[in-house]
Structure 1
Amino acid sequence: MPDESNIADEVILPPDCVVEEKWFDRVAVVSAAGTVDMLTSPKLEERISTVVAQKPAAVVVDLTDVEFLASAGMSVLIAARQQTPEGITFAVVADGPVTGRPLKLVGVTDIVDVYPTLDKALAELAA
């Protein structure tokens, strides 16, 4: 019989997602970091809705620091794009295998403007 005193209890922590908001003139940037999945995507969705209600010229969702993007997170981006009123530009910053590739494979890039960096998004949206 194994010595049960040597068996460690596995602690499963919920995924971590930090969502922040910054403004550059009339462009609101909502940045997410960590995991964006079905447990954490409501946090992203809520922040995007709050920003859109303030009527910026544009909303940019920056996924540069996202380590895992699940379909629930992609659904939030599609819904946010569809619910953003006319006159407000909606864009996403995503690049690489964690965010950019899944958005392209699923077809989100056909619906949402996606930029490789925040600097490129801000430069184009300010023009």
Structure 2
Amino acid sequence: MIRISLEQHTPAVTVAHVTGDIDLATAEEFREGVAERLASGEVFVLDLGGVTFMGSLGFSVLVETHQETERRNIRWAVVAGEGPIQRPLRVTGLDDVLPIYPSVADALTALTTVDS
């Protein structure tokens, strides 16, 4: 089971808090939740600190999201926390590609201080 709850930080920045396992059964729900953030065109933080497991489909969603945000010039950030997805991000090299921050506060600071 996966849960995505939205928190409006400022009128232009949303934090999507994701909890649960992102696996074969929930990857499409994760993809749809992220797609909604992309469709809004707003700056967003994807907080994965509450994710207890992420399979390859979940990591594919992150790569697709990165490509789409670059194409559409949407600023975003990923918070991986200290949980179980931290190591796979390092091993795959995604931590060098994705805009990853240690906390939601750090991500929000980075996104709100960047000149548009």
TM-score by length of 1: 0.80
Say whether residues 1:110 and 2:96 are aligned partners. Answer: yes
Query: What is aligned with 1:44?
Result: 30
What code does the residue aligned with 2:60 have? S
* Cα distance in 2 for residues equivalent to 1:107 and 1:55: 27
Aligned length: 111
Q: Which structure's residues are more often helix, by fraction?
A: 2
**Match 2:68 to one of 83, 97, 104:** 83
Structure 1, unaligned stretches of length 5 or more? 1-15
Query: Do the aligned partners of 1:19 and 1:43 also contact (CA within 8 Å) in 2?
Result: no
Identity %: 31
How many angstroms does 1:95 deviate by?
Answer: 2.7
* Cα distance in 1 for residues equivalent to 2:56 and 2:87: 13
TM-score by length of 2: 0.86
Structure 2, unaligned stretches of length 5 or more? none
**What is the RMSD of the two structures over their aligned residues, measured on CA atoms?**
1.4
Which structure: larger Rg?
1
Query: What is aligned with 2:85?
Result: 99
